[in-house]
Amino acid sequence: MTFLSRLFRGKYNTISGSKLDNFLNNNNILILDVRRVEEFRSGHIPNAKNIPVGELSSRLSELNSYKDSKIIVYCAVGVRSAKAADILVKNGFNDVYNLSGGISSYKGKLNR
């Protein structure tokens, strides 16, 4: 899907937990955890940045350097991250992925 078609449709991509490993070795990627701080502290994907979905709109400036980078958004099961992915796409982020099934679909080791 091209940038213009994503922008026009306001859509993001979806990625499965099994395909996430292919992206994690890329240095030019943002893993964005949109769960509450307490959830994040209980275990998160390595190198993830935590911005709860309720704070995302007011904290978008923290992510400006990732406008043209791949961003993978996740939460517990995929509902909050879908909302966050919509927010990102509508604010000009160009390569956004929602982790289907949330953190439970990730089979790697979690950081605490």
Active-site amino acid positions: 75
The widest CA-to-CA distance across the chain, in whole angstroms, is 38
Alpha helix ranges (H) inside the chain = 3-9, 17-24, 37-42, 53-56, 79-90
Q: Which two tokens stand for residue 48?
A: 């993830």
Proportion of the chain in helix, strand, coil states, percent, rounded to 5: 45, 20, 35
Question: What length is written for the chain?
Answer: 112
